[in-house]
Each structure stands twice: as structure tokens, then as C-alpha cells.
Amino acid sequence: MIKRTDTNARSSKIVQHGGVVYLTGQVAEGETIEVQTDNCLAKVDALLEQAGSSREHMLQVTIWLSDMADFAAMNEIWNAWVPEGHAPARACGQVRLARDELKIEILVIAAER
């Protein structure tokens, strides 16, 4: 069975199937990469909790940056947020995001608890 949460014409915030949680890409407002990263990760925490998962259960994360010059600053926030011993498989690349003011988008796949 597939469960979809907060679905609109374009996407669902959460899709769950077979014990796996898929989150839609998370973006956030803010002037700096640090603020946007913090805000995105707070959204990820809330959605994982809503889906019956947590950051300790992340399987794979894809991070898109609008500028790879932000990689080190983003990683400082990321490294402090990921629980020790629970780092997911991760990819990070530079893309053109949906709006010019966006600096980061984070996609998460996690296991249910």
C-alpha cells in the first residue's frame, strides 16, 4: 500500500511504501546558506517525525546547491545535525534551483522506525 501525505496536483510532501519514507525536496527562506540549511533540516526533522521516522533512519540524501562555493558552510551545519554513526548515503551537486533566492534543496529517503 502506498500512503501519500499533503498531496497536491504536483507532489506529496511524504510518500510511504514498504517501510520506506520518501520526502519531497525541502527548500527554505533565508539570506545565507547556513540559515537556509538549518531551516531545511528543521523541515526534514518535522516531516520524518510525521512519517514515523527520524534522522537516525535516513538511508539516502541528495543535496542540491545553487553554488558549490557554499559546500563547506553547508557541511558544517549538516555534520552537526547528522547523528554520529547514522550518516546516510549522500550525494551533493550544483544545480539551478526553482527560484534565484534558493541556495539549497534537500531530498531524503528514510526507513520507518
Question: 95-102 long-range contacts, Cβ below 8 Å, gap at least 24?
Answer: 95/64, 95/65, 95/66, 96/66, 97/27, 97/64, 97/66, 98/27, 99/27, 101/29, 102/27, 102/36, 102/66
Per-residue pLDDT tens digits for 7-62: 999 999 999 999 999 999 999 999 999 999 999 999 999 999 999 999 999 999 99
End-to-end Cα, the chain, rounded Å? 17
Single-letter residue type at 23: L
Q: Distance between CA 69 and CA 73 in Å, rounded?
A: 8
Confidence at residue 44, expressed as pLDDT on a 0 to 100 scale? 98
Percent of the chain with pLDDT strictly greater than 70: 100
Q: How confident is the model at residue 106 (pLDDT cuts 50, 70, 90)?
A: very high
What is the distance between the alpha carbons of residues 59 and 56, in angstroms, rounded to a whole number? Answer: 9
Which pTM value belongs to this model? 0.96
- Stretch 63-85: mean pLDDT: 98
Report d(CA 110, CA 88) in Å as an integer: 9
Q: What is the pLDDT of residue 102?
A: 98
7: part of which helix (H) or strand (E)?
Answer: strand 2-7
Beta-bridged to residue 108, according to DSSP, are: 61
Average pLDDT, the chain: 98
In the chain the domains, ranked by start, together with CATH numbers, are 2-111 (3.30.1330.40)
Q: What is the pLDDT of residue 5?
A: 97
In the chain, the percentage of residues whose pLDDT exceeds 90 is 100
